[in-house]
Structure 1
Amino acid sequence: MNPGLTIVLLGNSGVGKSASGNTILGRQAFVSKRSFKQVTTKISDPETETVFGKRIAVIDTPGIFGSERDVQRCCQEVLQSSTPCLFLVVIKIDRFTTEQMNAVEAAIRVIGRDKLKHSYLLFTGGDVLDNELEDFINEDPDGALGRYVEMFGGHHVFNNENGGQGQVRELLLKSGHLEDAAADLPERRIVLLGLPGYGKSASGNTILGSKKFKSESNFNAVTTQTVSASAVVDGRRVTVVDTPGFTPGQVLSLKNLFYEIMKSIAEASPGPHAFIIVVKIDRISEADVILYEMLPKLFGRDAHKYVMILFTYGDQLGDQNIEELIRSHKCVERLVSEFRYSVFNNTKRGDRVQVKDLLGKIDVMVTANNGEHYNSEMFYDVQPLDVQPLDVQPLDVQPLDVHPLDVQPLDVQPLDVQPLDVQPLDVQPLDVHPLDVQPLDVQPLDVQPLDVQPLDVHPLDVPPKDVPPKDGPSLWEKFVLWVNALWEELKEWFKEMICILEKFLSKERQCYARVV
């Protein structure tokens, strides 16, 4: 039977190629161990397995340095085959050294730059990755790793210690070699509630298989608002809603819990399948007890249908049995008798068994609820406060004895209006005396006629120059003629001005004579 996909693992020695092949196949098909010597010394025969309904063949190769020609021949044979192929260039999560860079360059030469669309960069060591893979890539100081990532068709990360098959499914989905059947599987929406420092955010990251929520080991609330994140977990889409941790003071307020749950229902629209109450396994405080006692008031009689308990810090159990620890706290024992519970060790995020156990119990709960999820109408039907109905007695209202008013008519007397004694005004005529107006003493102006003497102007006596005769007057002669003509005009103008001035003085004398 021909495989539906051939995967070829490439890279330097000791980066986890063989372990990645075992993770893909779900069995120990290749020898994988920590050693200073090269474990895989030749190109392996294809190992075939059915993974998520698809027949997959995996080929492991030795370290690319020293075997580049043989590996290139193998890759060309795979490319010439009619079977779809995927080349995985494996890099260990660590500082991107020159040696790793040279290994990637060698793999690119083997595959061919034009065939990189069929290739993915596969990072191993996901169990020691503190942040998201994208953050690790962007933190490379030289930026070389980011440039190589852009050259390939995609990139992915494997946790070969305890990552499970979910990461394999995600790789096949991302690379386009597996149809997304998650849409046909029932989605699960989960809301995490509890006190700060109890591991709500860390539990959300464990469920989703990657760091989606900010998580720190302290008792202060790292999550300050209701947030959600989604991922494909074991073939289905899972949405987790992380809520702010309630401080002990807030837990005492049922109103605060009521509003926080309302917000989480809206974030998990159209409604969550399960509310997970996160409890720290070795720390049961008074605030926890108060919170547990409020659960029936918050969810009513249907609380057991939608609420689960998740004990965190399972790594601190040691040799102690969880059932023994539960029996040591009466409050917890009563709580577990009413609700399903599960245990998480968030230090082993790759342990998918604990996640499958939790999702399996949620599936049982959803099946018991006929596949229905919790909704806002159910929540509004529950009284958030324990209010006792008031015993209200009807008022004994007696009719008022109203008598008609005894209105007496007013004794109105007519007003005695006396006529006013108006005396005529004694108006005396004003004693007006005529004004004594004295005529102005106007002295005649002593105006003397102007003694204007005519100017004694003699025409210019210009001796003729000894100039040879020319036709017509010379320039100088023209100038003399012009000056003489101008002088005649000026004399006429002066005469007119003297006449005008004499007429003006004559009129002034006549006016003065009339005034006097």
Structure 2
Amino acid sequence: MSAAASQSELRLVVLGRAGAGKRSAVSAILGLQDTEEGTDVEVIQECSKHRGEAAGRQLVVVSSPSWFTSDCDPNDRRQHISSFIALSSPGPHAFLLCVPVNQPAEGEAKALSVLEELFGPSAVSTNTIILFTHTEELDEDERLEDYLVTWRKDLKELVGRCGNRYHTLETCGGEEEERRAVEELLEKVEESATQHFSCPLYQEAEEKVREKQEEMVRETRGEDSQMSPTEEEMEAVREEAERSIGDLDVDVESIFPCDSVSPSSPASSFLWVWWEKLTGWMRQLPKMLRREALLGALVGLFVGGPYGGMMGAAVGSVATEVRRRHTQKKK
């Protein structure tokens, strides 16, 4: 990649759990047709890289599987991390963390902590924007800002960790409003990051990509060629070189220690079963007297420890929201 091309394009890395709306976000940003729009299941097995143009800007959008969850295989995790870093090298202008407004935020809070461990605090405080998804769950006349402040302090805390930067690409209007939403997002990216993000991991990735580019050009020319590769030759093999990068020097073991409770463990599976049952009961029994704060406290007490506290707070928060919506609909 030439220095001029690197400076003229905006690079975005889209992150999020499975089903968080990463594919729809990429489609919206680049103006692509989301062929599976409206589906609940979103499984991305490999990192993907897309180029396009929006609001007069050249864009590179990299989307990654949910490597920050505890149930991700360590080998897959290292590969996913190395891949999205190489594909967004020499560094992104923003990490976009897709966050569903209708789910507890414990997983996303962990994702931000992982980004800080990988790249340093500024990766979150300066270069991350929360991209809220599934906003169709809000009432028709309810503003996202009011919802966060009034009902979802857990989501508000995520926003605070990211320098109070958040956005949504989901609109009720037509194409013009959708384009405006994308333009506003890109403006927020440029306001918070005048230069692309860089750190030792990205510097290592860029060095390896450049070395691979030179190697590939020499192979094409023949080993006897003594001429230095031109920028055009280097650019022609850039993406292939990025995809060839193996494991980077990522200390996966220290960043992702064996969690005492992980989504794949019996204890965590048990918790999520209870979470689904609790929210299911509240939907099915709307006339039942619900003491939301007590419900959250009981869950926290039952589970115990810091994890129980977070789980109880999430249950209480979502229970309150469910009750409020039901009350409004009856009026």
Alignment-derived partner of residue 338 in structure 1? 161
Q: Give the whole-Å Cα distance in 1 for the aligned partners of 2:32 and 2:37.
A: 15
SS across alignment from 1:297:
helix
| Aligned counterparts, 1:223-262, within 5 A | 223-245=44-66, 249-250=70-71, 257=77, 259-262=79-82
| Aligned counterparts, 1:171-320, within 5 A | 186-211=8-33, 215-245=36-66, 249-250=70-71, 257=77, 259-303=79-123, 304-317=125-138, 318-320=140-142
CA positional deviation for 1:185:
8.0
Q: Deviations over 1:17-45 (max 9, x none)?
A: xxxxxxxxxxxxxxxxxxxxxxxxxxxxx
Q: Deviations over 1:77-128 (max 9, x none)?
A: xxxxxxxxxxxxxxxxxxxxxxxxxxxxxxxxxxxxxxxxxxxxxxxxxxxx
> Does the 8 Å contact 1:185/1:236 carry over to 2?
no
> Does the 8 Å contact 2:21/2:42 carry over to 1?
no
Q: Give the whole-Å Cα distance in 1 for the aligned partners of 2:166 and 2:153.
A: 16
The 1:347–1:229 alpha-carbon spacing in structure 2 relative to 1, beyond 3 Å, is farther
CA positional deviation for 1:356:
0.9
> Does the 8 Å contact 1:197/1:217 carry over to 2?
no
Alignment-derived partner of residue 445 in structure 1? none
The 1:336–1:382 alpha-carbon spacing in structure 2 relative to 1, beyond 3 Å, is farther
Q: Deviations over 1:417-439 (max 9, x none)?
A: xxxxxxxxxxxxxxxxxxxxxxx
- The one of 183, 187, 197 aligned to 1:356: 183
> Does the 8 Å contact 1:314/1:344 carry over to 2?
no
Alignment-derived partner of residue 277 in structure 2? none
> Does the 8 Å contact 2:18/2:42 carry over to 1?
yes
CA RMSD in angstroms, aligned pairs only:
3.4
Unpaired segments ≥5 residues, structure 2: 205-248, 258-331
> Does the 8 Å contact 1:311/1:343 carry over to 2?
yes
Q: Give the whole-Å Cα distance in 2 for the aligned partners of 1:201 and 1:338.
A: 24
> Does the 8 Å contact 2:99/2:131 carry over to 1?
yes
Q: Give the whole-Å Cα distance in 2 for the aligned partners of 1:255 and 1:306.
A: 27
| Aligned counterparts, 1:20-35, within 5 A | none
Unpaired segments ≥5 residues, structure 1: 1-181, 389-516
| Aligned counterparts, 1:23-422, within 5 A | 186-211=8-33, 215-245=36-66, 249-250=70-71, 257=77, 259-303=79-123, 304-317=125-138, 318-327=140-149, 328-339=151-162, 340-345=165-170, 350=175, 351-367=178-194, 371-374=195-198, 377=201, 384=252, 385=254
SS across alignment from 2:97:
strand
Q: Give the whole-Å Cα distance in 1 for the aligned partners of 2:85 and 2:185.
A: 20
The 1:382–1:321 alpha-carbon spacing in structure 2 relative to 1, beyond 3 Å, is farther
The 1:184–1:345 alpha-carbon spacing in structure 2 relative to 1, beyond 3 Å, is same
SS across alignment from 1:250:
coil
Larger Rg: 1
Q: Give the whole-Å Cα distance in 2 for the aligned partners of 1:200 and 1:207.
A: 11
> Does the 8 Å contact 2:64/2:84 carry over to 1?
yes
- How many pairs are equivalent? 202
CA positional deviation for 1:183:
6.9
| Aligned counterparts, 1:485-504, within 5 A | none
Q: Segments of 4+ in structure 1 off by > 6 A?
A: 182-185, 379-382
Task: Flag the structure with more relative contact order, 1 or 2, with Cα contacts below 8 A and sequence separation at least 6.
Answer: 2
CA positional deviation for 1:265:
1.6
> Does the 8 Å contact 1:313/1:346 carry over to 2?
no
SS across alignment from 1:310:
strand
| Identity rate, percent | 28
Q: Give the whole-Å Cα distance in 2 for the aligned partners of 1:183 and 1:288.
A: 32
Q: Deviations over 1:141-183 (max 9, x none)?
A: xxxxxxxxxxxxxxxxxxxxxxxxxxxxxxxxxxxxxxxxx97
Q: Give the whole-Å Cα distance in 2 for the aligned partners of 1:183 and 1:379.
A: 17
